[in-house]
A and B are shown apart, each in its own frame.
Chain A
Amino acid sequence: MPSSSIRVRSLCDSKVVSVQVRLAGGSRTEQVPGQASITGRMLAEGSQRRDWRQIAEQAEDLGMSITAFGGLETIGVAIEALAQDWERAVEWAAELVLEPSFPQDRFEWLVQQNSAELCSLGDQPDVRTGWEFLHQLYHPHPRSRPVLGTLEGLASLDKGACTRFWRESLSSCRIVTICGGFEDEDRVRARVESLFGHPSPGGSEQLVAAPRGDGRAHRKVSIPGADQAHLYAGHLTIPRTDPDLPAMQVLSVILDSGSVLSGRLPRRLREREGLAYVASASAAAGAGLDPGRFVVYLGTAVENLERAESYVREEIDLLISHGVTEREVEEAKSYLIGREPFRRETARQWAELLAESELYGEPVDRPEWCTNRWRQVSREGVEAAARGHLRPAEIKVTVGVPS
C-alpha cells in the first residue's frame, strides 16, 4: 500500500485546473456489493458545511465540475475548474473528502439511483453479457460483479456501512493530485498541505478474495428482443506489477487494442470475414492491483457465433505456435511510444497520471520511463509472454444470444 501523498504540477498555458483526491479502497475491498460506489458518490451529497444543493449551485456558479466516485480500486472526488479558481477547487475537494455528512435521505436516493442504473445497463446486451463473463473469470473476487454493486447488495446496504468504509479508506491511504494553469507550485502545495496535512505512511494492504472463476467453460445468456449476439472469450492473465506487463501491452496492440482497426483479431473478424462491426481484444485488460484478463469481444449475428469462436481460437493458436513478426513488434512499440504525448494533453490526464503513479508505485507521469519500458521489449519477449500467459485450453466463453 503506498503512502499518502500530494503531487502538484503546473502546466504552462493551461486554462484549467484538475484536482483529484483518491482514497485507497474501492469495490475490490468492499464487504457489501455497492458499498464503495455509494460511499464514493456520497462525498458530493453533503458536507459539515453545505448540503447537496449548495454544493451543486455554488460549484456550477463557477462553471466547476465535481465528480464524486467509487471505483474498483479507489473512491474519491475529481474537480475540474477554470485555472483562476484553483484555490477554491482545492478547498472544495478537501471539504468533500474530509468532512462528508452522509445524510440519510441522500443515501437512500443514491441506492435507488445505483439500482436504476444497474437495470439500465442490463438493457444493453453487450454489457449484460460482459457481466457474466467477468463472473465466469473472477468469482469470488469483487471484480466478478459490477462496480455499481448488485441489486441484492444495494438493498442490504446501510448508511453506517458507508460511513465506516469512508473512515477506513481515509485512514488507509490518500492521494491528492493537482495539475493545471497555475504558476507557483510551492504556493499550491502549501495550500494543499494546509488542508490535507503532510504526506504520511499509508495503512496495510487490504486482503481481497483471490479470483478463481466460476468453474464453467461456456456460459450462455439470453437477451430478450435483441438482433445481435455477443461473444466474450478469454481468461485471467497478469496484474499491473508483473514484469511482463510491457510485453503484454505490445502483444495487446498486435492483437488489437490500438486506436485503429489494424490488429490481428479485428483484421480477421471484421475486415476479412465481415463478422462484426465491433471486434476488440486485449492481453491484459483491466490489469491493476488484481490480475487483468486476456479478452476478445465481438458482436455478431447468432449464426456466426461458432465460426467467430473458432477463428478466435485459430488466431491464438497461430500466435503461440508461429509467434509474431519483427515488424509487428516494432510497429506496436512505435504505436505505444507515439501515443505517449496524447496521455498528457489535459490537466485531468495529468492529474490521473500522477494519481496512478502514486497508487501503483510506478513513475508513469515520466514519459521517458514509459517509453523506455516499451523500447526494451523484444520479439522474443513478446513471444515468451504469449506462450506464458495465453493458454488456449483455459479460454472461457460467454455468449449473449437473442431470445
Chain B
Amino acid sequence: MSLLVTPTIRSEQLSNGLQVCLVERRQAPVVATALCYRAGTLDEPPGQEGVAHFLEHMMFRGSSEFGEGEIDRLTQALGGSNNADTSHDCTTYYFSFAKDRWTTALEIEADRMAGLLLEPAVVEAERAIILEEVKMHQDDPWDALEEQVMAALYGHHAYGRPVLGTVDSLKYVDRVALAEFQSRCYRPENAVLAIAGDVGLEAFEEVERFFAEASGGERPRSRSLGKMGPSSAQRVERHQGEVARLLCAVRAPALGDPEYPAMRLMAAILGTGRASRLNRSLVEEARSCAFVSVEMTETLVAGALLIAAEVIPGWRPPKVERMLLNELERVADGFFEEDELARAKSLLIADWVFGHEQAQEMALTIATAGALMDPELPARHLEKIQSCSLLEVREAAAHYLGAASPKVVGWSLPPNSRR
C-alpha cells in the first residue's frame, strides 16, 4: 500500500509565535480552519476544574467585534459551521466555509483571541448550560463509567479529572478565573492554526493580515499535573441502566513515545474490524458481547488503551471479564501472527484515508498534532505503522499489557445486580 496518503503540509510562523499550517486540497470548493490552543484540563489551577471547558463555551458568547450570538449568526448566514472541543491537553476551535468567504473564520478567531467580553450575566447563563451538560454526561452510562475509570487509571494526575469539571468546582469558576485563564493560555505563541481546503499560499498572507497585531511573548506553561496512579490493578463498579457494560483501561504510550505506533497496531489487532482478536473471540464466536471496541487516546503526557464491551443479557459479567483478560494475556505473551499485523496495518492506513477526505478532519488532525507535538507527526506515525515489525509490536504488547502493567477494570451494572 502506497504512502501517498499523507498530505503535504506547508508551515510558517508569525513573528508573534503563531504557527500556521496549510494543506491544499482541491476536491471541493471549501476551506476549513482549526485553531488549537495548548490549554486544557492540564493547565487548570487547583480548585478551578472545568475552567478550560467553560472558557471554550464563552468564546462563542461575545468579543469586541462580534456581540452576543453574532459568531453563530454570522457563521450560519455565510453557510458555515463551527464548533470547539476541549480535552485534557488542548482546546480546538474550528470553522468550515465555502472558499470565497473562509477568511471570516480568521476574523472571528483573531478578534476573540484578543478581545473576549466575558459579560458577567452571560457567564452566569453559561454556567447553567454547563451544569446541564454535566448532568447529561452523568445520565449516559458510558460517559459516567469512563469518568470513574479514568479517575482510577490516573489517580491524582490531571488526566484523572473530568474535562467538564464538577458541579462543585464549577461554582468557583467566575469571570476573573476565566479572564486569567484566557490571558495566560490564549496567546499566539501557544497556538497552532491549521487551514485545509481549496486555498493556496495566499492563505498565509490572510493569516498575517488578521493575526499580526496579536501580542505574543513567551510565557511558561504552568501546570499542576499531580501524581500519576495506580501502581496496581484497580476495580470500579457502578450501577446504572439495564445492560452490563465493561470498560477496561491500561496505561499506553503518549503520542510522542516511540512505542506509540506499535501500540496503535496492537490496539487494531485487538479491536479494529470484525476479524480482530476481541471481536472474533468475544462477539462473533463466544457471542458474549454485543460489541467490543478498542481505542488509544492521543495524549501528551501518558496515554491509555480503552477496551469497551457491552455484555449480552444472560452472560455473567465475571465470565466475560475473565475471557477478556485471558485474551489480553495471550497477546501480551506474543500470541498473534504476521497475518493479523498485516491486516491491522491495512485497516489503519485505509482508516486514515477514509477519515481525512473532509477538509475539516484534516485541519483538526494537523492543528492538534501541531499543538501537542508536531504537525508532521501523523505522517511519521503512518510511516512507522507501515514498517513496524512483529517483534516491535510484541514488545509493546508485553510492556503495556503484561501482568506487571496496572489495569483498571470498570463495570456499569444494572441496579440490584452484583458483578
Contacts and interface: CB of A to CB of B under 8 A. Distances in A.
Interface of A: 11-16, 52-53, 56-57, 60-65, 80-82, 109, 112-113, 115-117, 119-120, 122-125, 223-228, 253, 258-262, 267, 270-272, 274-278, 299-301, 330-332, 334-342, 344-348
A256 to B, nearest CB: 10
Nearest to B138: A227
B106 interface: no
A64 to B, nearest CB: 7
Contact of B357 (A14, A122, A272): A14
A299 B138 CA distance: 13
A341 B132 contact: no
A120 B76 contact: no
Contacts of B200: none
B28 A334 contact: no
Interface in B121-157: 124-130, 132-133, 135-136, 138-141
Interface string B64-108: 000011011101111111110000000000001110010000000
A277 B98 contact: no
B343 A60 contact: yes
B75 A301 contact: no
B28 A262 contact: no
B132 A65 contact: no
Nearest to A260: B72
B161 to A, nearest CB: 20
Interface stretch (B33-41, B237-245, B387-395): B237-245
Contact of A116 (B78, B280, B290, B350): B290
Given A124-B140, A335-B76, A336-B79, A341 B98 contact: yes
Interface in B7-64: 26-30, 60-61
B354 A275 contact: no
B342 interface: yes
B407 to A, nearest CB: 24
A112 B241 CA distance: 18
Contacts of A347: 357
7 contacts: A63-B1, A63-B350, A113-B290, A124-B141, A274-B128, A342-B358, A345-B358
B346 interface: yes
B392 to A, nearest CB: 20
A120 B68 CA distance: 39
B273 interface: yes
Nearest to B139: A226
B282 to A, nearest CB: 12
Interface string B315-327: 0000000000000
B133 A342 contact: no
A55 to B, nearest CB: 8
B360 to A, nearest CB: 8
Give the bracket for the number of chain B residues in contact with chain A: 35 or more
A300 B128 CA distance: 10
Contacts of A346: 357-358
Contacts of B206: none
Contacts of A223: 139
Contact of B98 (A228, A330, A338): A338
Contacts of B130: 277
Given A60-B273, A120-B310, A278-B136, A112 B129 contact: no
A301 B69 contact: no
B284 interface: yes
A267 B69 contact: yes
A267 B70 CA distance: 11
B158 interface: no
Contacts of B138: 227
B132 A60 contact: no
A334 B68 CA distance: 21
Contacts of A64: 350
B351 interface: yes
A300 B132 contact: yes
A223 B140 CA distance: 12
B76 A331 contact: yes
A226 B77 CA distance: 37
Given A259-B81, A338-B79, A342-B96, A228 B135 contact: yes
Given A11-B27, A224-B415, A339-B79, 14 more contacts: A56-B275, A63-B346, A115-B313, A116-B313, A120-B243, A123-B141, A124-B141, A223-B139, A225-B415, A260-B75, A262-B72, A276-B132, A277-B132, A345-B27
B312 interface: yes
B403 interface: no
Going nearest first, the 9 A-B pairs with the smallest beta carbon separation are A338-B79, A63-B350, A123-B241, A274-B128, A259-B81, A331-B77, A277-B133, A56-B274, A63-B346
A253 B77 CA distance: 10
B349 interface: yes
A124, A224, A262 — which one has the most chain B CB atoms within 10 A of its CB? Answer: A262
Contact of B129 (A115, A116, A276): A276
Contacts of A56: 273-275, 284
Given A60-B347, A277-B129, A345-B28, A228 B136 contact: yes
Contact of A338 (B97, B274, B290): B97
A338 B312 contact: no
Contacts of A116: 243, 290, 310, 312-313
Contacts of A227: 135, 138-139
Contact of A274 (B83, B129, B241, B243): B129
B371 interface: no
Contacts of A228: 132, 135-136, 139
A61 B342 contact: yes
Nearest to A336: B79
A301 B135 contact: yes
A253 B76 contact: yes
A136 to B, nearest CB: 22
Contacts of B132: 228, 275-277, 299-301
Contacts of B135: 227-228, 299, 301
Contacts of A338: 78-80, 97-98, 101
B83 to A, nearest CB: 8
Contacts of B68: 271
Nearest to A83: B353
A151 to B, nearest CB: 10
Contact of B349 (A63, A80, A258): A63
B221 interface: no
A209 to B, nearest CB: 30
A282 to B, nearest CB: 15
A334 B78 contact: yes
A287 B140 CA distance: 28
Nearest to A44: B274
Contact of A57 (B28, B81, B242, B275): B275
B354 A80 contact: yes
Interface in B332-354: 342-343, 346-347, 349-351, 353-354
Given A56-B275, A228-B135, A335-B79, A112 B343 contact: no
